[in-house]
Amino acid sequence: MSRTSAIQPFFDEATGTVTYVVHDLATRSAAVIDPVLDFDFKSGRTATRSADRVLAHVAGQGLQVDWILETHAHADHLSAARYIQGKLGGRIAIGERIRDVQAVFKKLYNLERSFLPDGSQFDHLFHDGETFRIGETEATALLVPGHTPADMAYLIDGAAFVGDTLFMPDVGTARADFPGGDARTLYRSTRRILDLPPQTRIFVCHDYPPAHRGAAWESTVGDQRANNIHVRDGITEEAFVALRTARDATLDVPALILPSLQVNVRAGQLPPAEENGVRYLKIPLDALPRKAEPAPRA
Ligand SMILES: [Fe+2]
């Protein structure tokens, strides 16, 4: 079947994130997936270099942005969804279980009373299996929890934008140790993706390339089933859970987790300004769960 859409990736070196612009060839309607707002933690400065590359592409191609899709509330970068929306319009959407994630982080950050963990900060919340359109191109939102409880994959014209579930085959899968994350659930979500037709193109949200290759973001279901180091065919759920859990115990907390989540649960809106006109991020002290200590020998 011939394709009705085109895909443009944008790789952000600083966070290893891949943003995509997908546009419908017939109508030039477009979706922006997982846009990045640059953030320098040391200076507290945000910047729009990454998002401005997306704006330039949209302008250059003469696209109309209908959707700004988030695969999940990211812990490694701030979302540029609001910035993009301010420039180009479009509806900001995420999975409906974002409410659970908002509830967890409202509590952690002790967010203002007026912040409701009801998903109302987003323009649309997808349920599992919901179909939508980008111009004349059909799309489906698929619930793929495990990395977080709210992760969605977006199936668009024979391509799957899988967020943080599968990574490139030689990198494996996303971590499952964030609040509400679960390795067993992640395994089942990866199988859900791997049950798609083998020629389905897979576009990942991150690449952390090994030393011998540059960044990459596209594979296929067939390639993942043959080669994914964590979930290729033949690796059982039990084996995956053991591997994923052991690996997660060694992973440090992402550098931008505390800034990222308090912006991303607001759909990329920065926190409200205080009386002096300055916006602040909060850093909760000693509140994130301690990393698992190595198990004492029995
Ligand atoms: Fe993530």
Tell how far the Cα of 168 is from the centroid of ligand 1, in angstroms: 15
What tokens does 169 get? 């085959």
List the chain pLDDT tens, one digit each, 298 residues: 689 999 999 999 999 999 999 999 999 999 999 999 999 999 999 999 999 999 999 999 999 999 999 999 999 999 999 999 999 999 999 999 999 999 999 999 999 999 999 999 999 999 999 999 999 999 999 999 999 999 999 999 999 999 999 999 999 999 999 999 999 999 999 999 999 999 999 999 999 999 999 999 999 999 999 999 999 999 999 999 999 999 999 999 999 999 999 999 999 999 999 999 999 999 999 998 776 555 444 4
Determine phi and psi for 159, rounding to 5 degrees: -120, 145
CA distances from 138 to 12, 37, 126, 131, 189 (A): 28, 28, 15, 7, 22
The pLDDT value recorded for residue 293 is 52
Distance 73 CA to ligand 1 centre (A): 7
**Å from CA of 1 to ligand 1 middle:** 32
**C-alpha of residue 284 to centroid of ligand 1, in Å:** 20
CA dist 54 and 83 (Å) reads: 11
Cα atoms in the Cβ-side hemisphere of radius 13 Å centred on 248: 22
State both tokens at 271: 């926190």
- For ligand 1, the distance from its centroid to the CA atom of residue 205, given in whole angstroms, is 8
CA 43 – ligand 1 centroid, Å: 24
What local confidence, expressed as pLDDT, does residue 296 receive? 47
Instruction: Name the residue among 90, 91, 87, 77 with its Cα closest to residue 18.
Output: 77
CA 99 to ligand 1 center in whole angstroms: 16
How large is the angle between the packed helices 98-109 and 257-264, nearest 10 degrees? 120
Full-model pTM:
0.96
Distance 275 CA to ligand 1 centre (A): 33
What does the pLDDT read at residue 1?
Answer: 66
Q: How far is the CA of 76 from the centre of ligand 1 (A)?
A: 7
C-alpha 166 – ligand 1 centre gap (Å): 11
- What is the rounded CA–CA span in Å between residue 78 and residue 83? 11
CA of 109 to the centre of ligand 1 (A): 19
Distance from Cα 160 to the centre of ligand 1, integer Å: 16
C-beta separation of 95 from 143 below 8 A:
yes
Q: Is 51 left (phi over 0), alpha (psi -120 to 50) or beta?
A: alpha
> What is the reported pLDDT for 5?
98
CATH number of the domain located at residue range(s) 5-253 in this protein: 3.60.15.10
Question: What angle is formed at CA 15 by the lines to CA 232 and CA 249, rounded to 5 degrees?
Answer: 55
Rounded distance from Cα 77 to ligand 1 centre (Å) = 9
Which among 100, 109, 77 has a CA at the least distance from the CA of 10? 77
Ligand 1 center from residue 162 Cα (angstroms) = 11
Q: Which residue has the tokens 């309607």?
A: 29
User: How far is Cα 231 from Cα 146, in angstroms, rounded to an integer?
Assistant: 14
